[in-house]
Structure 1
Amino acid sequence: MYVGNADVDGPLDGGWLLGHFKPRGDVRHSEAVEIKWGLHKPGDERARWVTGENRTALLILISGRFRVELPGRSVLLAERGDYVVWGEGVDHSWRAEEESVVLTVRWPSVPGHKVT
């Protein structure tokens, strides 16, 4: 069992609360799914596009205004609960237009997309 707070635990691992990157034996370790609690200041953006995507993703706006860039489409999440889902093979990027909190769920949980 693990009990925590996403606002406290998230920043310790880039916002990621659950996924393959947590130590084996930790209940938060999963190769099936990743969950991120993203806290973003206005103007925060992904350093570069994710390409060669091999996961499906769901991104839900908790608060703020958040833009997800997909090939040929820009999606603005502006109301609490707005969400976007994209599948395997779809590249993406993002930008926080206002201070934003987003919840991202990706599956499966696989290495290879971390910006260093």
Structure 2
Amino acid sequence: MTNGVYAGNASKDAANDRGWLLGHFKAPGDLRHSREAEIKWGTHPRGDQRTAWVTGEERTGLLILISGRFRMEFPDHSVLLEEQGDYVVWGPGVNHSWTAEDDSVVMTVRWPSIPGYKAPETE
């Protein structure tokens, strides 16, 4: 960090914290520390899927497809993201899961950033 600016590479930085680039879990004083939002850079090989549904979610989420083909699953339907820039937003209380139908890169934004919340390590 130099003069209040942090520059990095999402793929490299994401490898250090399960994909998360910004959120409450970054050290206080780090520009990437935030209580307002969390940002994740997700790289998923074809066939990768979430091992368990997210239930009891307290945040709003936004997932944007950078590359590949990625399916978001919701209790009553699914959303297929297949063109760069396709995105889906879901609100608090919406259970969800996902599957990478092709090698995929996605960016996830969640808000607010809630201390104490952590998905299982097998995400």
Query: Shorter chain as normaliser: what TM range?
Result: over 0.9
Alignment root-mean-square deviation, CA: 0.9
In the other structure, the counterpart of 1:2 is 6
Unmatched 5+ stretches in structure 1:
none
Residues 52-101 of structure 1: per-residue CA shift (max 9 Å, x gap): 01000010001000000111011110111110000011011111010000
Structure 1 pair 69–113 and aligned structure 2 pair: CA distance change class (3 A): farther
Unmatched 5+ stretches in structure 2:
none
Paired residue total: 116
Which whole-Å CA distance do the structure 1 matches of 2:62 and 2:10 have between them? Answer: 18
1:71 to 75, 95, 98: 75
Structure with greater Cα Rg: 2
How does the TM-score come out when normalised to structure 1?
0.96
Amino-acid identity (%): 65
Contact kept? 1:50, 1:113, Cα under 8 Å: no
In the other structure, the counterpart of 1:62 is 66
Residue 28 of structure 2 aligns to a residue whose secondary structure is coil
How does the TM-score come out when normalised to structure 2?
0.91
Provide runs of 4+ in structure 1 moved above 4 Å.
none
